[in-house]
């Protein structure tokens, strides 16, 4: 039987190499794309799976419900919570604080950056990370200890054998000498520590002075707990509210606590590390999360590619069934049963699918690195996974694509077939099925094309959208740490003097900000008192010229007016004094002003601090397009007496290439702060970090759209080629009756494109619903334009028309007399 099956498959390939080739190629493409995208989905779903005992690891998040702004969850939390957590929850086996830090080594004035964490000595125990050099329990026990990843060791020293070496690290301009006490073994699979190159203990000075170690309301890093059992997660969750009430409450003037009723605005949440990748979408201060819906959509595209390929096979096989009708009739006449023939045809389908599976594996090898490079993810071909999945895919695809044709073929009645002059077509029912399959294939392809167009448009929009400030010619520098007024002035003067610089200004917020602080402000309006949380910013002279925000009402700060000078540290600490402020338009609408002009002259208060609104500017978007712009209050600092808190310099330049400008600024910066890397970056590049994940994953849709169209076109081409041959006789009749070649071409094109037109009707509403859902995840988004749909439909019809045009014209030009002889 096996020999008969193999011989039958081979004979088909020899007799109809084009059809079998297209069939096989379509299946291989479907299987290849399915495997590659399955690998990507598996990769995204296996985040942190490589951490030993990951089911017992949780991150402690904080969730705020504050007046005037949308509720938000933060991955960073006050480190003040950790000793109390250890004390109150015996479920905690171990815990570590993770303070993300950027370290630099210096050589000849050049900096080499290493990402990493300042953390507790328990770090390696908590995450279950092994060291390839050094001892886990000792590695961070000394304050100057330093552990590098193997990759970082190679990058810094060219070897992994570096225990005991001394390394001078520069962290934001502060130098410290460390001794290498360990080298981390690589962690298998994607994980939250993948980018960690250097691990050092939290400096004692930092723990004593930094606000996130001292106050409940301040956060700068994450807390990760290793619990004793996975069930402890639920047990802990049930008691966290009481924990917050017990430890975070205090009087209104207690700056350490959150307030008398912290549980009303503050919540602690435990997030299993295994779920982190999908959970972190929309979580503030987390690494880039991945939208689960997008990953599901990628998986669906892979699955649909396979379905499209199977539909192709069914379509072609049923169309070609007539060609084998005589063979079936003769075999039955010679005694073959329907069951034997069914097994034979199913076997042939499985042989073709198996060959396609092998070609698909090769395609998967080629596609996966491309997908990894498109998405920026470290997905690789895992043979354990692929070789386990492939046989299942081959069998399922083989059965799915072979069953219907085998049923039709094995069901032919020998007497009818042998008596008929023409080969059986399967009747109108089979033709309808074939058209339905082509329509289904194109519907899927067109829906993916529409989604791709919308995603592409949205990602382009995210890059180009109006952000409320002038983006071109704008460079953002490193925070000027230190709070030294004289040094801040000198830095501004030095940067301003660089040829090509047209304006320089300080602000405490920047595009894609690293840190944000909010305060509660009250406004006593005609309808009673309104209380809102406002984002705090302080800006200096030159800021307006650098960012060029749009002023909607009132005026901007004037360094010459004394009353524009903002609060100093003492004013802010004690919430006192009267100051002029500028707010954004989001603040005025949240406060209930009908127009920006109405807000001018109104006073906001925060305890004893009075803020008089002198100007309203348009919203400046420094946050991700997914996030809502927050109400913002801006104070002014003339740099006459009050230093900034770690200001961020922004530079507007003209007439100089960007790279050259950055080099000039680096040199000027080094003359003032040689110990601090300047890191000047275009504002757009900073913002792009916020949506580059969306952009990269969007590329998968492009791949999906191309593959889906390709497979659908292969199906249409084969079907058209086959139909054209079947219809030669009919064409002969029509030409005999006087139809011209043009009329025949139009007739055939119309018939071939009818299922594609139906596909358009099916695809558009589905794509509309899906894309409306996707776009709703963005605060700043493109409208769902009919143009996307029209372009996709026109493209599909054009591609389909071009696919069948050759066949159509060839048949339309056939000599009628010859055509009439064709059967």
Partner 1 sequence: MLIDLSHIQRLYRSDEVETTALLDIHLGIEAGEFVAIMGPSGCGKSTLLNILGTIDRPTSGSYSFGGQELTELGEAALAAFRRENLGYVFQSFNLIDELTIEENIELALIYRRMPKAERRHRVAHAMDHVGIAHRARHYPSQLSGGQQQRAAIARAIVGEPRLILADEPTGNLDTENGAQVMDILQRLNDEGATIVMVTHSPSHADLAKRRVDMLDGQVVISVRNAI
Q: What angle do CA 439, 441, 445 make, to 5 degrees?
A: 110
**Residues touching partner 1, count (CB under 8 A):** 21
Residues 711-740 that bind partner 1 (CB under 8 A): 729-730, 732-740
Distance CA 182, CA 150 (A): 10
When the beta carbons of 412 and 644 are compared against partner 1, the nearer one is 412
Estimate the crossing angle of helix 692-726 against helix 338-375, to 10 degrees: 150
420 makes contact with partner 1 (CB under 8 A): no
Number of C-beta neighbours around residue 646 at 10 A: 16
When the beta carbons of 335 and 427 are compared against partner 1, the nearer one is 427
Using CB under 8 A, which of 428, 486, 526, 659 touches partner 1? 428
In whole angstroms, how close is the CB of 720 to partner 1 at the nearest point? 16
CA-CA distances (angstroms) from residue 320 to 16, 405, 498, 590, 804? 10, 9, 75, 67, 18
Number of C-beta neighbours around residue 676 at 10 A: 23
In whole angstroms, how close is the CB of 38 to partner 1 at the nearest point? 42
CB burial of 694-731 (b: ≥16 within 10 Å; e: otherwise) equals bbbbbbbbbbbbebbbbbbbbbbbbbbbbbbebbbbbb
DSSP for 193-234 reads TTT--EEEEPPHHHHHH-HHHH-TT---BEEEEEESSTTHHH
In whole angstroms, how close is the CB of 322 to partner 1 at the nearest point? 13
- Grouping H, G, I as helix, E, B as strand and the rest as coil, residue 620 is coil
In whole angstroms, how close is the CB of 432 to partner 1 at the nearest point? 12
When the beta carbons of 467 and 726 are compared against partner 1, the nearer one is 726
Cα-Cα-Cα-Cα dihedral of 429, 433, 438, 443, to 10°?
A: 120
In whole angstroms, how close is the CB of 740 to partner 1 at the nearest point? 4
In whole angstroms, how close is the CB of 811 to partner 1 at the nearest point? 14
In whole angstroms, how close is the CB of 337 to partner 1 at the nearest point? 29
When the beta carbons of 463 and 729 are compared against partner 1, the nearer one is 729
In whole angstroms, how close is the CB of 732 to partner 1 at the nearest point? 8
Q: What angle do CA 182, 183, 188 make, to 5 degrees?
A: 135
Residues 735-794 that bind partner 1 (CB under 8 A): 735-743
When the beta carbons of 336 and 420 are compared against partner 1, the nearer one is 420
Closest residue by Cα to residue 26 from 324, 433, 430, 353: 353
Residue 473 is classified by DSSP as: T
Binding mask 52-91 for partner 1 (x = CB under 8 A): ----------------------------------------
In whole angstroms, how close is the CB of 315 to partner 1 at the nearest point? 18
When the beta carbons of 646 and 730 are compared against partner 1, the nearer one is 730
When the beta carbons of 269 and 729 are compared against partner 1, the nearer one is 729
When the beta carbons of 174 and 431 are compared against partner 1, the nearer one is 431
Burial of 527 (0-12, 13-18, 19+ CB in 10 A): exposed
In whole angstroms, how close is the CB of 737 to partner 1 at the nearest point? 5
DSSP for 756-816 reads HHHHHHHHHHHHHHHHHHHHTT-SS-----HHHHHHHHHHHHHHHHHHHHHHHHHHHTS-H
When the beta carbons of 300 and 749 are compared against partner 1, the nearer one is 749
The pair of three-digit structure tokens given for residue 614, joined into one six-digit string: 């002198």
Binding mask 794-823 for partner 1 (x = CB under 8 A): -------------------x-xxx--x---
Within 13 Å of residue 84, how many CA atoms lie on the same side as its CB? Answer: 18
405 makes contact with partner 1 (CB under 8 A): no
In whole angstroms, how close is the CB of 738 to partner 1 at the nearest point? 3
When the beta carbons of 5 and 321 are compared against partner 1, the nearer one is 321
When the beta carbons of 3 and 823 are compared against partner 1, the nearer one is 823
When the beta carbons of 302 and 732 are compared against partner 1, the nearer one is 732
**By the 8 A CB rule, do 70 and 416 touch?**
no
In whole angstroms, how close is the CB of 742 to partner 1 at the nearest point? 8
CA-CA distances (angstroms) from residue 193 to 43, 128, 286? 15, 12, 12
In whole angstroms, how close is the CB of 713 to partner 1 at the nearest point? 25
18 makes contact with partner 1 (CB under 8 A): no
When the beta carbons of 182 and 426 are compared against partner 1, the nearer one is 426
Name, in order, each residue with C-beta under 8 angstroms of 493's C-beta and a sequence gap of 6 or more.
none
Name, in order, each residue with C-beta under 8 angstroms of 85's C-beta and a sequence gap of 6 or more.
60, 92, 95, 223, 225, 243
Distance CA 504, CA 674 (A): 19
Using CB under 8 A, which of 238, 251, 392, 421 touches partner 1? 421
Binding positions for partner 1, rule: CB under 8 A = 421, 428, 729-730, 732-743, 813, 815-817, 820
């Amino acid at each position: 039987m096996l020999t008969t099956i193999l011989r039958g498959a081979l004979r088909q390939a020899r007799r109809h190499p084009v059809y079998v080739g297209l069939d096989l190629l379509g299946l291989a493409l479907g299987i290849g794309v399915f495997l590659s995208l399955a690998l990507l989905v598996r990769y995204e779903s296996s985040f942190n799976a490589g951490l030993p005992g990951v089911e017992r690891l949780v991150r402690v998040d904080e969730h705020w419900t504050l007046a005037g702004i949308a509720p938000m969850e933060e991955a960073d939390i006050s480190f003040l919570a950790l000793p109390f957590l250890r004390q109150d929850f015996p479920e905690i086996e171990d815990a570590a604080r993770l303070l993300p830090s950027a370290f630099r080594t210096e050589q000849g004035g050049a900096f080499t950056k290493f990402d990493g964490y300042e953390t507790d000595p328990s770090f390696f125990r908590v995450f279950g990370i092994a060291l390839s050099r050094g001892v886990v329990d000792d590695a961070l026990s000394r304050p100057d200890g330093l552990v590098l990843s193997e990759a970082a060791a190679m990058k810094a020293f060219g070897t992994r054998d570096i225990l005991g070496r001394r390394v001078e690290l520069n962290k934001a301009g502060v130098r410290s000498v460390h001794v290498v006490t360990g080298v981390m073994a690589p962690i298998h699979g994607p994980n939250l520590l993948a980018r960690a190159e250097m691990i050092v203990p939290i400096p004692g000075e930092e723990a004593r002075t930094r606000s996130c170690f001292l106050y409940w309301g301040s956060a700068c890093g994450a807390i990760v707990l290793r619990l004793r059992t996975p069930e402890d997660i639920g047990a802990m969750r049930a008691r966290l509210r009481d924990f917050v009430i017990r430890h975070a409450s205090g009087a209104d003037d207690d700056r350490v606590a959150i307030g008398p009723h912290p549980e009303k605005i503050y919540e602690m949440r435990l997030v299993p590390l295994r779920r982190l990748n999908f959970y972190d979408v929309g979580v503030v201060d987390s690494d880039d999360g991945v939208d689960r819906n997008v990953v599901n959509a990628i998986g669906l595209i892979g699955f649909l590619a396979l379905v499209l390929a199977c539909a192709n096979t069914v379509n072609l096989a049923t169309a070609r069934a007539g060609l084998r009708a005589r063979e079936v009739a003769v075999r039955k006449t010679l005694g073959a049963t329907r069951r034997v023939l069914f097994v034979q045809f199913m076997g042939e389908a499985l042989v073709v699918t198996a060959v396609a599976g092998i070609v698909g594996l090769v395609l998967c090898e080629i596609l996966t690195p491309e997908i990894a490079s498109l998405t920026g993810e470290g997905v690789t071909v895992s043979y354990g996974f692929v070789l386990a999945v492939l046989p299942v895919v081959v069998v399922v695809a083989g059965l799915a694509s072979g069953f219907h044709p085998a049923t039709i073929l094995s069901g032919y009645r020998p007497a009818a077939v042998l008596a008929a002059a023409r080969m059986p077509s399967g009747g109108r029912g089979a033709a309808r099925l074939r058209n339905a399959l082509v329509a289904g294939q194109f519907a899927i392809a067109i829906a993916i094309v529409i989604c791709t167009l919308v995603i592409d448009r949205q990602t382009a929009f995210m890059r180009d959208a109006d952000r409320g400030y002038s983006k071109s010619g704008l460079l953002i520098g490193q925070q000027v740490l230190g709070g030294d007024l004289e040094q801040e002035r000198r830095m501004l003067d030095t940067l301003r003097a660089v040829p090509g610089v047209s304006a320089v200004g300080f602000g405490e917020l920047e595009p894609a900000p690293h840190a944000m602080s909010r305060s509660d402000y009250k406004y006593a309006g005609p309808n009673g008192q309104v209380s809102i949380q406002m984002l705090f910013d302080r800006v200096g002279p030159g800021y307006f010229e650098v960012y060029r925000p749009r002023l909607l009402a009132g005026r901007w700060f004037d360094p010459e007016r004394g009353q524009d000078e903002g609060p100093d540290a003492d004013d802010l600490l004690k919430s006192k004094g009267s100051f002029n402020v500028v707010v954004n338009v989001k603040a005025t609408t949240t406060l209930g002003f009908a127009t920006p002009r109405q807000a001018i002259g109104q006073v906001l208060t925060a305890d004893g601090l009075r803020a008089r609104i002198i100007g309203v500017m348009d919203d400046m978007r420094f946050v991700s397009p997914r996030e809502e712009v927050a109400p913002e209050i801006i104070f002014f600092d003339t740099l006459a007496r009050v230093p900034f808190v770690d200001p961020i310099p922004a530079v507007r330049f003209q007439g100089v290439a960007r790279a050259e400008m950055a080099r000039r600024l680096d040199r000027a910066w080094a003359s003032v702060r040689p110990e601090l890397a300047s890191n000047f970056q275009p504002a757009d590049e900073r913002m792009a970090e916020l949506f580059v994940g969306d952009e990269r994953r969007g590329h998968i849709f492009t791949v999906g759209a191309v593959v889906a169209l390709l497979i659908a076109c292969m199906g249409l081409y084969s079907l058209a080629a086959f139909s054209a041959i079947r219809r030669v006789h009919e064409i002969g009749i029509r030409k005999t009756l006087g139809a011209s070649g043009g009329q025949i071409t139009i007739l055939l094109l119309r018939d071939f494109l009818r299922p594609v037109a139906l596909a358009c009707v099916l695809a558009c509403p589905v794509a509309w619903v899906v894309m409306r859902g996707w776009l709703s995840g963005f605060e700043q988004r493109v409208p769902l334009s009919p143009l996307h749909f029209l372009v996709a439909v026109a493209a599909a019809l054009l591609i389909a028309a071009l696919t069948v045009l050759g066949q159509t014209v060839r048949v339309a030009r056939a000599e009628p007399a010859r055509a009439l002889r064709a059967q």
